[in-house]
Amino acid sequence: MHTPGTLHVVATPIGNLGDLAPRALEIFRSVAAICAEDTRHTRQLLAHFGLERPLLALHQHNEDAQAAQLVQRLLSGDSLALVSDAGTPLVSDPGFRLVRAAREAGVRVSPVPGACAAIAALSVAGIASDRFAFEGFLPAKGGARRERLSGLVGETRTLLFYESAHRIEEALHDMAGVFGGERRAVMARELTKLFETVLDGSLAELRAAVAADPNQRRGEFVVIIEGAGDDADAKVHEGRRLYARLSEHLPPSTAAKLAAELSGAPRKALYGSGRENA
Ligand code: SAM
């Protein structure tokens, strides 16, 4: 009977290669093979550190099929490492099925912690970090995206989203539309890389900054949005959102009266709160 190997789940850098933990290198040297989301990408990372190791492809399209075989290999005594292209495996990345299968088979699964874009962004955002909800990527289609966001309007925890360059503008537009342009947020772009930028402000301000400057639409993004305040705050947010929409079509006093009625917020908190919330 063999002693089973260990599955090491190893975080890799999200930009700056200096962020790879020294222990990650030790593990890469010691394991029988490294399961990688994109073997070419990981080969380059290893080459940077002067390593050449056996690599196995494990991505969203073959993970189900591969997991059982890899668990057999672990049970037979081989240790393996699991990496994704960047950051922490399983966080909006493959690996969940393999980790679950390994745990179910009684194989030891051990982390080598390191970079994670969401946590790196949270650590510099200056937005309450005691309770937060990681929402990963929003749906690509506008309707589904707005529906997902609408379900989060009353969420009081800080919200974390991943976003890509080709959707950041529409995403910020929908976030401002659904949460209200005044909701505080941070956009963290290209963390640990040359063009690292952390912008904070209201959602309306972030949306305007991204619309005005094509450079702010390049790279990889984490968007962090402050949670809804207590009930009274939530009513004012909702009231202002309604006021902004209604005042596009109605005189301000009528828009404020209707928005106050519909949201339960005091009218004077809405009147004159502006169209920038739309
Ligand atoms: N597993 C990774 C982690 O631990 O962060 C995330 C992988 S997910 C497929 C890639 C997304 O993470 C990007 O689209 C972006 O939203 C975010 N991301 C990755 N690197 C980043 C960086 N350097 N700066 C900002 N966001 C980043």
Q: Look-up: residue for tokens 């952390």? A: 198
Q: Which atom of ligand 1 approaches the CA of 115 most closely?
A: 4
Residue 17 confidence class, pLDDT cut points 50, 70, 90 = very high
Which pLDDT does position 264 carry in this prediction? 83
Q: Is the pLDDT of residue 276 over 70?
A: no
Which pLDDT does position 278 carry in this prediction? 35
Ligand 1 pocket: which of 42, 91, 119, 220 to mutate (most atoms within 8 A of CB): 220
> Looking at the domain that runs over 6-115, which CATH code has it been given?
3.40.1010.10
Ligand 1 within 6 A of CB of 135: no
Q: If we measure between CA atoms, which residue out of 73, 76, 80 comes closest to residue 33? A: 80
Q: What is the rounded average pLDDT for all residues in the chain?
A: 93
Which pLDDT does position 272 carry in this prediction? 61
Taking only the tens place, the pLDDT of each residue in 95-111 is 999 999 999 999 999 99
Map out the domains of the chain as residue ranges: 6-115, 118-225, 231-277
Ligand 1 within 6 A of CB of 88: yes
Residue 1 confidence class, pLDDT cut points 50, 70, 90 = low
pTM: 0.86
* C-alpha to C-alpha distance for 204 and 37, rounded to whole angstroms: 36
Element (H, E) at 7: strand 6-10
Ligand 1 within 6 A of CB of 86: yes
* C-alpha to C-alpha distance for 67 and 139, rounded to whole angstroms: 27
Q: Is the pLDDT of residue 78 over 90?
A: yes
Ligand 1 within 6 A of CB of 116: yes
Q: What percent of the chain has pLDDT over 70?
A: 96
Ligand 1 within 6 A of CB of 117: yes
- For the ranges 39-43, 94-98, 193-197, 236-240, the lowest mean pLDDT is seen at 236-240
Domain spanning 118-225, CATH class: alpha beta
Ligand 1 pocket: which of 14, 42, 124 to mutate (most atoms within 8 A of CB): 14
Q: Is the pLDDT of residue 65 over 80?
A: yes
Ligand 1 within 6 A of CB of 162: yes
Q: Say how many Å lie between the CA of residue 251 and the centre of ligand 1.
A: 44
Ligand 1 within 6 A of CB of 218: no
Which pLDDT does position 232 carry in this prediction? 64
Q: Look-up: residue for tokens 């342009």? A: 181
Ligand 1 within 6 A of CB of 163: yes
Q: Which atom of ligand 1 approaches the CA of 117 most closely?
A: 5
The whole-angstrom distance between residue 180's C-alpha and the CA centroid of its chain comes to 21
Structure tokens at 121: 């962004």
Residue type at 139 in one-letter notation: P
Q: Can you tell me the mean pLDDT for 197-217?
A: 96
Q: Is the pLDDT of residue 76 over 90?
A: yes
Judge whether 8 and 110 are in contact, CB under 8 Å. yes
Strand partners, 199: 187
Ligand 1 within 6 A of CB of 39: no
Which pLDDT does position 5 carry in this prediction? 98
Judge whether 51 and 25 are in contact, CB under 8 Å. yes
Taking only the tens place, the pLDDT of each residue in 162-176 is 999 999 999 999 999
Ligand 1 within 6 A of CB of 258: no
Which pLDDT does position 229 carry in this prediction? 87
Residue located nearest, by CA, to atom 2 of ligand 1: 87
DSSP letters along 102-136, please?
Answer: HHHTT-EEEEE----HHHHHHHHH-S--SSEEEEE
Q: Look-up: residue for tokens 């705050």? A: 233
In angstroms and rounded to an integer, the radius of gyration of the C-alpha atoms of the chain is 23
Ligand 1 pocket: which of 162, 168, 198 to mutate (most atoms within 8 A of CB): 162
Ligand 1 pocket: which of 38, 59, 92, 190 to mutate (most atoms within 8 A of CB): 92
Q: Say how many Å lie between the CA of residue 162 and the centre of ligand 1.
A: 7
